[in-house]
Amino acid sequence: MCGIIGVTGTGAVAPRLIDSLKRLEYRGYDSAGIAALVGGVTERRRAEGKIRNLEAVLAEAPLNATVGIGHTRWATHGAPTTANAHPHKAGRVTLVHNGIIENFAELKAELAAEGHVFESQTDTEVVAHLLDRELDKSNDAVEAFKRVLDRLTGAYALAVLIDGESEQILGARRGSPLVVGWGEDEMYLGSDALAVGPFTQQISYLEEGDYVVLNRGG
């Protein structure tokens, strides 16, 4: 279980996500990635191996955005490849995950039977597909997210971006830690206090089963 960072802010987000991920390197990881909302739609940058590899990808293809999420992965399901690196994207949903979705095989079979096509071998990707499917049923992202959480067994800390939700980050935890950081016109989400440490000392620890909806204002 590795690192998560999310920032809904006003400054350039990519360098801030990278800075946080470097602070989480001590936890060990095999790949890393970030996603940010560019014109209301997420773009991803991912790389195998060290964060410097991700920095090289970003140097080739910069991300100009102020809202984003980042992840260092310690593979549990699927090899440590770029395709299996987080963030994972399905339709309008992009997310990162720490932990293990124990019922992923059953969920994947259900989604595959409905025509969903998977790009990775991870347990995580099913969560993105589930949420995208729930968003088809109603446009209320928070209600859709809660319905998805009810379907998951296992351990998770999640940070989620949805295309069209220009400054929102959804988060939830069960079995894996997640903290909220409070800034001035900015909010942060992190797998521990170190992740949000560069930005704020004002932190709330989520409790088991909590979910959170972050916007710049709170």
The residues binding ligand GLU (CB under 6 A) are 1-2, 73-78, 97-100, 122-124
Q: At closest approach, how far in Å is the CB of 134 from ligand GLU?
A: 21
Compute the distance between CA of residue 73 and CA of residue 71 in angstroms, rounded to an integer: 6
Q: Which is nearer to ligand GLU, 154 or 198 (CB)?
A: 154
Least distance to ligand GLU, CB of residue 140, Å = 27
Quote the least distance from Cβ 120 to ligand GLU, whole Å. Answer: 8
- As measured in angstroms, the least distance from the Cβ of 74 to ligand GLU is 4
Q: How far is the CB of 76 from ligand GLU (least distance, A)?
A: 4
CB of 57 to ligand GLU, least distance (A): 18
In terms of CB distance, is 66 or 98 closer to ligand GLU?
A: 98
Residue 81 or 215 having the CB closest to ligand GLU: 81
Nearer to ligand GLU, 10 or 53 (CB): 53
Of residues 88 and 133, the one with the C-beta less far from ligand GLU: 88
Long-range contacts of 41-47 (CB under 8 A, 24+ apart): 41/163, 41/164, 42/87, 42/89, 42/94, 42/161, 42/163, 44/87, 44/89, 44/94, 45/14, 46/82, 46/85, 46/86, 46/87, 47/82, 47/85
Nearest to ligand GLU of 42, 191 (CB atom): 191
